[in-house]
A and B are shown apart, each in its own frame.
Chain A
Amino acid sequence: MIELVLPALLVGLLLTAIAGPLGCFVVWGRMAYFGDTLAHSALLGIALGFLFDLNLAIGVIAVSSSIALALTVLQGQRFIASDTLLGIMAHGTLALGLVLVSLMETVRVDLLGLLFGDLLATGFDDLYWVGALVVFIGVTLYFIWTPLLNIAINQELAQAEGTPVGLIRLLFMLLLASVVAIGMKVVGALLITALLIIPAAAARKLATTPERMALLASLVGMAAVILGLTLSWQADTPAGPSIVLCASLAFLLIFVFARRKDA
């Protein structure tokens, strides 16, 4: 019995452990909608992965990174407000992905699985690439933590003080795209942002330092994975939405009952 759930549980825990600190930066930088756009574009990455017979995770990372790059370039223009631009990119790429997937005759794709995740189909072989990606994200994040934090505080001040803002932001987007690739497996394209921002938002009220907030966000996310999978197992509910639901409930509980700690 446990062999069936164990890989799913481990992949979920690995994802939320790393989504905690990354999600904090998404929240601090008010990038929730940006994260959503990357997540929606992940479906296109899957479709292209099938089309070119690539590893699906690589397809997702490639497409999400390109979208992140395109957004960075396009946000310099002044014809369209940036939230409108994000909306166009998010839904345009999502629609293109859905159309491409439906056109494929050779592969039968589980559309619900792509949109809402298919965690229970995770096997032990998935653990290798997820584990490798999480280690890559964790190590990179460790090395760029201070400059990333300085940028989160104020980009201009960081740049004036000599932080290589462009490079650090680029790395951060690559990390975000990698998390999206893992998230596709766990909660699907529509709910990835939830696992980035909900645990971080829940942790804010309990934290007095950025590092503690990142750690608490990981713990909240990991608790949500354990509770969500239990719920899914007991009540036969879909795993991804159950996890996000548990994270939302955790946020609500902390928001209502915890006293705000100011740094």
Chain B
Amino acid sequence: MTEHTLVELHDVGLDFKSRRVLDQISFHVRPREILTIIGPNGAGKSCLLKVILGLYTPTRGTCKQRPGLKIGYMPQRLTVDTSLPLSVERFLTLANKGDARPLDDVLRRVGARSLRHSAVQSLSGGEFQRVLLARALLREPDLLVLDEPAQGVDLQGQQALYHLLAELRDEQGFAILMVSHDLHFVMAQTDQVLCLNQHVCCSGSAESVSQHPEYLSLFNHAEVEDIAVYTHNHDHHHDLHGHVVAEDGPAEEHRHQGGCHHD
């Protein structure tokens, strides 16, 4: 592991009982980099995220964090028991020790300033998501980890969120690692896209949507500069049983097995 990687995964595999969830995953995250992990439902995206966050210990391989790495984590959703009286302000101040950046600044930045004194249980899903982002930012992270940030948000909301994330990354210089179930559209500034289906199916960079006239027409000439399209480049297919099928020739047993159902 070098000075220049925040997180490094080497040949990571994860099993639940005898079920294989992740297999042979190697990649790393560099400072300031934006990495998007995409994949169908059940591909193991959330599990991979939990390995990176240190919540799961990999069955095989290693996942190393740079010593002292500060992670800001924005979960997909979070429910706080109604028996716990908790305002947004208190929720945010709990996240960081010592003197932190002024709450107001961060709240304004994520567009949640009016929520400061609300009870966290009274927030809508979208509002709570912005508060969770604020909490992650208050920790002044080296790495921001987001689980399906675009889930349940319309295209405008998604664009606005990606725009904000790009701006924040430029200002504060953290790296972003996010997970998305959208197989084709990713954040425009993404440096690296990783297509996951238990193993890494393919990876590469994304192309700007604005260079694709057909996508532009799809969006009715809306501003789409914050979203990019990812073209998959698989060297294999999966049959219905999840076995890997060679491009030409009969289906063969492959070491990656499981519920891969994608094209």
Do A263 and B54 touch (CB < 8 A)? no
Contact among A149, A154, A162 with B78 in the assembled complex (CB-CB below 8 Å): A154
What sequence of 0s and 1s flags, for each residue 72-89 of chain B, a beta carbon within 8 Å of any chain A beta carbon? 010100101101111100
Partner of B95, one of A161, A210, A262, A263: A161
Kindly state the separation between the CA atoms of A210 and B84 in the bound complex, as whole angstroms: 7
- Is B166 interfacial (CB 8 A cutoff)? no
Question: Could you tell me if B80 and A153 are in contact, using CB atoms closer than 8 angstroms?
Answer: yes
Partner of B85, one of A159, A162, A207: A207
Q: Say yes or no for A209: interface residue by CB 8 A criterion.
A: yes
Say whether B90 contacts A209, CB under 8 Å.
Answer: yes
Q: Which residues of B contact A261 (CB under 8 A)?
A: 85
| B-contact bits for A155-180, CB 8 A (1 contact / 0 none) | 01101111000000000000000000
Are A204 and B71 CB-contacts (below 8 A) given A161-B139, A209-B90? no
Contacts of A30 in B (CB 8 A): 81
A263 and B86 form a contact (CB under 8 A): yes
Interface residues of B in 191-217 (CB under 8 A from A): none
Q: A160-B73, A160-B145 are in contact. Are A27 and B83 (CB under 8 A)?
A: yes
Partner of B55 from the list A27, A146, A156, A209 (CB cut-off 8 Å) is A156
Q: Mark A62-78, 1 if CB is under 8 A from B, else 0.
A: 00000000000000000
B122 touches A150 (CB 8 A): no
- Minimum Cβ distance to chain A for residue B125 (Å): 15
Within 8 A of B (CB), among A90-149: 146, 149
A161-B71 contact in complex given A208-B85, A210-B90, A263-B90, C-beta closer than 8 Å: yes
* Given A150-B94, A207-B85, A212-B85, also A156-B119 (CB < 8 A): no
Please state if A157 and B87 are interface contacts (CB–CB under 8 Å): no
Task: Assess whether A255 is interfacial by the CB under 8 Å rule.
Answer: no
Within the assembled complex, what's the spacing in Å between the Cα atoms of A201 and B83? 8
- Which residue of B is nearest A201, CB measured? B83
Contact with B75, one of A27, A156, A200, A204 (Cβ below 8 angstroms): A156
A165 to B75 alpha-carbon distance, docked (Å) = 17
Contact A153-B91, Cβ < 8 Å, known A28-B81, A159-B54, A262-B122: yes
- CB A165 to nearest CB in B, in angstroms, measures 9
**Is B224 at the interface (CB under 8 A from chain A)?**
no
Asked if A153 and B94 sit within 8 Å, CB to CB, the answer is: yes
Report how far A207 CA is from B86 CA in the complex, Å.
10
Do B81 and A157 have beta carbons less than 8 Å apart? no
* Given known A152-B84, A262-B85, contact A159–B55 (CB-CB < 8 A): yes
Q: Would B55 and A160 count as touching, CB distance under 8 A?
A: yes
Chain A residue with the shortest CB-CB distance to B84: A28
Task: Judge if A213 is at the interface, Cβ distance under 8 Å.
Answer: yes
Alpha-carbon distance A207/B119, docked complex (angstroms)? 12
- CA–CA, A245 and B73, complex, Å: 45
CA distance A160 to B50 in the complex (A): 8
The CA of A201 and the CA of B85, in the complex, are separated in Å by 12
Asked if residues A160 and B53 are in contact (CB atoms below 8 Å), the reply is yes
Distance in angstroms from A47 CB to nearest chain B CB is 34
Docked Cα-Cα span, A217 to B120, in Å, equals 21
Question: B94 contacts A149, CB within 8 Å?
Answer: yes
Q: Which residues of B sit under 8 angstroms from A28, Cβ to Cβ?
A: 81, 83-84
Contacts of A156 in B (CB 8 A): 50, 55, 75
A37 to B73, CA, bound (A): 34
Q: How far is the CA of A86 from the CA of B207 in the complex (A)?
A: 55
- Excluding A146-B94, A263-B86, A263-B119, 14 further A-B contacts by CB distance (< 8 Å) are A28-B81, A152-B81, A153-B86, A153-B94, A154-B78, A154-B80, A156-B75, A157-B78, A159-B53, A160-B53, A160-B73, A204-B85, A208-B85, A262-B85
Ordered by A's residue number, 28 sampled pairs between the chains whose C-beta atoms are within 8 Å are A146-B97, A152-B81, A153-B80, A153-B84, A154-B75, A154-B80, A156-B50, A156-B75, A157-B78, A159-B54, A159-B55, A160-B53, A160-B55, A160-B145, A161-B71, A161-B73, A161-B139, A162-B71, A204-B83, A208-B87, A210-B85, A210-B90, A213-B85, A262-B85, A262-B119, A262-B122, A263-B85, A263-B119
The chain A residues found within 8 Å of chain B, CB to CB, are 27-30, 146, 149-150, 152-154, 156-157, 159-162, 200-201, 204, 207-210, 212-213, 261-263
The 6 closest A-B pairs by CB, nearest first: A160-B73, A263-B119, A263-B85, A160-B53, A263-B87, A262-B119
